[in-house]
Amino acid sequence: LQQNLARAEGYLARFARDGVLNHIGGVSVAADSGETFETRSPADGRLLAKVARGGASDIDKAARAAKAAFRSWAALSGADRRKILHKIADGIVARADEIAFTECMDTGQALRFMSKAALRGAENFRFYADKAPEARDGQSIQAPGQVNITTRHPIGPVGVITPWNTPFMLSTWKIAPALAAGCTVVHKPAEFSPLTARLLVEIAEEAGLPKGVWNLVNGFGEDAGKALTMHPDIKAIAFVGESRTGSMIMRQGSDTLKRVHFELGGKNPVVVFADADLERAADAAVFMIYSLNGERCTSSSRLLVEESIHDAFVARVAEKAARIKVGHPLDPQTVIGPLIHEVHEKKVLSYFDIAREDGATLAVGGQKLGGEFAGGHYVAPTLFTGATQSMRIAQEEIFGPVLTAIPFRTEEEALAIANDVEYGLTGYIWTNDVTRAFRFSEGLEAGMIWVNSENVRHLPTPFGGVKNSGIGRDGGDWSFDFYMETKNIAFAT
Ligand code: NAD
């Protein structure tokens, strides 16, 4: 840990010295207002950097820069865009340690996950680099006396608004397909963890991305974010964050008829039937709620267990949860680090009182950690049992290391409980009965389902949610459906 802390100091020195500037039209600039805001480390509360606090005029400049750069970027051949995107991936790999260490200090996420997340960012760029040459491919549709040819075109400059939980990986996931499609970008990262977005835009320009193609404006949601969603030159908003922010963005974007793509919250069930491989199911359930501090949209925050095995299975999960290593994000052994911010910590802790008042039983955790952890936002991995479907801990997204176990008697009851929330992002089903697995998946209201597995992401597959968990899909060609317009040309024959 001491060695890693020293390395982190080295990576963070530039931010402490220079702060975090916006990047508009290829130039690093302070906010027009001259204002800044602070980003602090969730591990010990210390100041990491002063960040340019952009507002409407900075967004306006960035949108104009993205518009000015659009025509030539869109006109570049897919093969040329492919080359640049691969170079960006090379740049990410070359600076993967710097990215991972910076991300850990800015978000509180553990190094063991963030070093993978940095490399996954590079993979996202490689995947969409290779798809760039085919992004415009259309199809031909025959009719009597007519041949139709469809073509695809980048929609224009787009706004990308990202959350704080795994900001680097998520930014690459949204921006790589936009660039591959031929769009230009204005990125507004989350105010709680802005550091790695700055590294990313630098890497992109060092890789040869033309100036103005990718612009970065830091700031708060209610000013910079809002201005971006309302700007007439921005043709679409790709947003990852909370469901209620999604509703606000839809309202804000309505005057300019924004196309929106939303990846929102979740209250995802992991459903365990008695015939499952219970040891693997328990490991996966524990991994899917406690890794990434539970600050993960696809986390399995509800554990639905068949009644006949409920007590033994939940005891097994409780034992594993109690053993999880909580620690400094840069400690290689750490699984759970501090939560992002005191505001979020308060929210998570408030659910401990709510759960007790609603009558749930605390099996593990349930408190803020003191002692060596007192300076940071550390919360113990927590498991509630004896919960019912109507309790708030069974309905609301807590976005922390908090798992709610609920027993079920029949498959029908399990499905009813699983679907009885306003969200529908992911579901995890554990059973060795393949017919039931298929039947249950068909009935489950979720955009993504894993059977006998934790969340293992394969980039060509669609990613997104139903109900309040989102609108639209990412992944494979689906990202291009969002970032591109389809044109039909009919020829008389
Ligand atoms: P948030 O909605 O508070 O903020 C996300 C971003 O939106 C930030 O950059 C913020 O500044 C900006 N924003 C806030 N108000 C805005 C407004 N009025 N107009 C424009 N922009 C605005 O979310 P968060 O707390 O940063 O992130 C946690 C949430 O993100 C959770 O609900 C989580 O489930 C969700 N999430 C979803 C996915 C997914 O893929 N479905 C992935 C990660 C996180």
> 240 C-alpha to center of ligand 1: Å?
5
Full DSSP string of 470-490: EES-BSTTHHHHHHEEEEEEE
Pocket of ligand 1 (CB under 6 A): 161-165, 170, 188, 190-191, 220-222, 225-226, 229, 240-242, 245, 248-249, 252, 263-266, 297, 397, 399, 425, 465, 470
Q: What is the pLDDT of residue 242?
A: 98
Q: What is the pLDDT of residue 319?
A: 98
Q: 10-residue block means of pLDDT along the chain (493 residues)?
A: 97 98 98 98 96 98 99 98 98 98 98 97 98 95 97 98 98 98 98 98 98 98 98 98 98 98 98 98 98 97 98 98 97 98 98 97 97 95 96 98 98 98 98 98 98 97 98 97 97 97
- CA–CA distance, 126 with 53 (Å, rounded to integer): 32
Q: Nearest C-alpha to atom 8 of ligand 1 is from which residue?
A: 190
Closest approach atom of ligand 1 to CA 228: 20
* 306 catalytic residue (yes or no): no
Of 345, 335, 347, nearest in space to 286 by CA: 335
Closest approach atom of ligand 1 to CA 163: 26
Catalytic residue from among 98, 103, 123, 263: 263
Closest approach atom of ligand 1 to CA 463: 40
- For 319-347, b where at least 16 C-beta lie within 10 A, e where not — what string? ebbeebebbbbbbeebbbbbbbbeebbee
Closest approach atom of ligand 1 to CA 220: 11
Query: 429 is written with which tokens?
Result: 């089903």
**Mean pLDDT of all residues belonging to the chain:** 98
Q: What is the pLDDT of residue 444?
A: 98
What pTM was computed for the model? 0.98
Task: Give the pLDDT confidence of 128-173 residue by residue, as tens digits.
Answer: 999 999 999 999 999 999 999 999 999 999 999 999 999 999 999 9
> 23 C-alpha to center of ligand 1: Å?
21
If one residue of 297, 421, 479 were mutated to test the ligand 1 pocket, choosing by the most ligand atoms within 8 A of its CB, it would be 297
> 163 C-alpha to center of ligand 1: Å?
4
> 242 C-alpha to center of ligand 1: Å?
4
Closest approach atom of ligand 1 to CA 262: 41
Which residues of 314-422 form beta strands (DSSP E)? 361-364, 382-385, 402-408
Task: Give the pLDDT confidence of 259-307 residue by residue, as tens digits.
Answer: 999 999 999 999 999 999 999 999 999 999 999 999 999 999 999 999 9
If one residue of 51, 59, 162, 165 were mutated to test the ligand 1 pocket, choosing by the most ligand atoms within 8 A of its CB, it would be 165
The ipTM of this complex is: 0.96
Task: Give the pLDDT confidence of 324-338 residue by residue, as tens digits.
Answer: 999 999 999 999 999
Q: Nearest C-alpha to atom 42 of ligand 1 is from which residue?
A: 297
Q: What is the pLDDT of residue 20?
A: 98
- For 406-416, b where at least 16 C-beta lie within 10 A, e where not — what string? bbbeebebbbe
- CA–CA distance, 154 with 75 (Å, rounded to integer): 10
Q: What is the pLDDT of residue 15?
A: 98
